[in-house]
Structure formats: C-alpha cells, structure tokens
Amino acid sequence: MKKNRKYVMTQESSLGKGANIVVIIFFTLIMVLAFMPVLLVFMVSLTSEKSIAEYGFSFIPHEFSLDSYYYLFRTGSTLPRAFLNSVIITVSGTALGLVIMCPCAYALSRKEFAHIKALMVFLLIPMLFSGGLVSSYMVNTQILHLKNTYLALILPGMCSTWYIMIMRNYFRMSVPDSLIEAGKLEGVSPFQSFLLIVLPICRPVVITVAVFQIFAYWNSWYPALIYIDSNHSELYPLQYVLVNIDRTVQAMTRDAAKVAGAVNVNVPGTAMKMTLVVITILPIMLLFPFFQKFLRTGLTIGAVKE
C-alpha cells in the first residue's frame, strides 16, 4: 500500500511539473507575441524611408537611419517644453484627482454615512448622461474662464465616477469595521482614521487609480485642441505637439510631388509615425513594471461585489 501511495504521489508530482512547464511555455509565447509589435515599431523608426518603401516593415532594418529622430528634435525648444507641460499636467491632475476621489470613495464605503444614496445618484447621473461638448466648453470658457490655462487641461479629466466606484469597493472589502472602531476608541478623528489607517491599507487601489489617471493625462491631446489657442503654444502638451508634427509630415509627404523641384525632398513619413509612437509609449513602458503588482491587486479586490 505504501509503495502504491508513493507511486501515485510521484505520478501526480510529475504531472504537476509537466503542467507547469506547459503553462510557462504558453504564457511565454503570449508575452513574445505581445512584445513583437512594440519591437517592430521601434525597429521601423530606425529604418530609412527608402528602405521602408522598397522592402516594407522588417524586424531587421535593411538600412539603419536616425533621420526621423533628427527631424523630430530639430524643433528646438518646442518638444522639451511640451514634454515639461505634459509632466506638469499629468502630475498635477493625478494628485488633485486622488485628493478628491479618495475621500469621496471612503465616505461612500462607510455604512454610517447618512447621505450615501443622494451622493451615489449625484455621481452616477453624469456617468450615464453627459452634458455634451458644447455645454462643457461653454461652462469651462464662459463661466470658469479656463481657456488658455493649465486648468483647462487638468480639471475636465480630474475625477471619474468609475474610479470612485473601484476604490469604494476596495475600501469595503479591505478595511474591517473593527479597525475603524478601534481607532475611534483611541480618540482618532475620522480624517486621521482615513489618513493613517485606511490609506496605508488601501495603497494598491490608490496606486492603481493613479496609474490609470497618469495614462489618461499622458495620452490626452484633445483638450488642448479645444481650449488652447495657437498664440499660446507654450501651453501645448507633448501629445498635441506630436499630433501636429505628424500632420505636418503627412502634408509635406502628400504635397511633395505636386511642388516643382520637390522630387528630392526626403521626409521620413512612415518612420516619423513610428518615432512618435516610440516617444509616446516609452515613458509609460518604463513606468508600468514598477506598478504591475499594485495594478493586479487593486483591480482584483476592487472588482469584487458584495
């Protein structure tokens, strides 16, 4: 009997190891397939426009060229200024959004909060029914006078009902009532309880929402198109400057053949697009691995519904 049990356990152990190897190989292939488009974009950005036209996209460029990067950075101080603007907008908007959304989510998570139903309705209505672009533009420009300011790029995307709901569910699942009651017995005020007890426990979901906010602000360019005039170009964020550069390159490429003597004009159109993609996603790619653990934990627990 003992020998049979040992044989069965050995078989189960070998099967378990085999299954682990299969799973590892499977997810390694998925990882490689997911990374291949990013690698292709990067390699195409290092390829000459002539080589792209002749051979198409390739993981190994037939002719290396940095023309697209040289062309992009010949804009002088425009690109560094736009990068600084995006950093200011992203950091400020994310910080202010967390300052507003975290206390709101915590209040909604507490059962003793008296006005929870009214506040929930107040938050859900704009989530389901938007006032529209015209009305928001009139409010932001005619009433709040935000046109041609940093606030016009920060305030419209600062808060999200969806993020508040994620944090509310996380607070409910992760913060025991007994812990809050123990704080009250020690003379801790509600604000101190939130700051010293709740936030340290709920750090994963706070960082998760912060990362989502960072992604949203970093990739945002449409508010600049609406609220920033061309004579205030010093306020342009990075994404809007890159969009303008892409449009300019497309126009030059399209009209080059129509202009007399423009046959020799060599504008890195396709390579420039890939270069813009690389510059856009590189900061996010460098930032994402540091928050991967918090993203997984925050989304998993925050998605549980009672």
Q: What is the pLDDT of residue 60?
A: 82
CA torsion through residues 210, 216, 300, 115, sign: positive
d(CA 89, CA 16): 50
Q: Is residue 198 part of a domain?
A: yes
Regions in the chain scoring below 70 on pLDDT: 1-16, 18, 75-77, 250-269, 289-306
Can you give the pLDDT at residue 305?
Answer: 44
Residue 51 lies in a domain: no
Indicate whether 80 belongs to any domain.
yes
How far apart, in whole angstroms, are the C-alpha atoms of residue 220 and residue 210? 15
3-state secondary structure 226-281: HHCCHHHHHHCCHHHHHHHHHHHHHHHHHHHHHCCCHHHCCCCHHHHHHHHHHHHH
Residue 262, phi then psi, degrees to nearest 5: -95, 10
Residue 152 lies in a domain: yes
The phi, psi pair for 47, rounded to 5°, reads -105, 145
The reply to whether 22 falls in a domain is no
Angle, helices 78-109 vs 203-218, to 10°: value is 140
CB 102 within 8 A of CB 164: no
Cα separation of 109 and 282, whole Å? Answer: 37
207: nearest Cα among 305, 109, 129, 287 = 287
Residue 150 sits in a domain of what CATH number? 1.10.3720.10
Long-range contacts of 37-43 (CB under 8 A, 24+ apart): 38/281, 38/285, 41/274, 41/277, 41/278, 42/274, 42/278
Closest CA to 281 of 218, 229, 200: 218
Give the model's pLDDT for residue 85. Answer: 92
Do the domain assignments include residue 274? yes
How confident is the model at residue 252, as a pLDDT? 67
Q: How many domains does the chain have?
A: 1
3-state secondary structure of 111: coil
Q: Which residue range is the domain that position 135 belongs to?
A: 67-306
Q: Compute the distance between CA of residue 207 and CA of residue 166 in angstroms, rounded to an integer.
A: 12
Among positive and negative, which fits the CA dihedral 158, 300, 193, 162?
A: positive
pTM comes to 0.76
Helix, strand, coil percentages (3-state) for the chain, rounded to 5, are 80, 0, 20
In this structure, is residue 258 part of a structural domain? Answer: yes
Q: What backbone torsions phi and psi does residue 295 show, to the nearest 5 degrees?
A: -60, -45
Q: φ and ψ at 64, to 5 degrees?
A: -70, 145
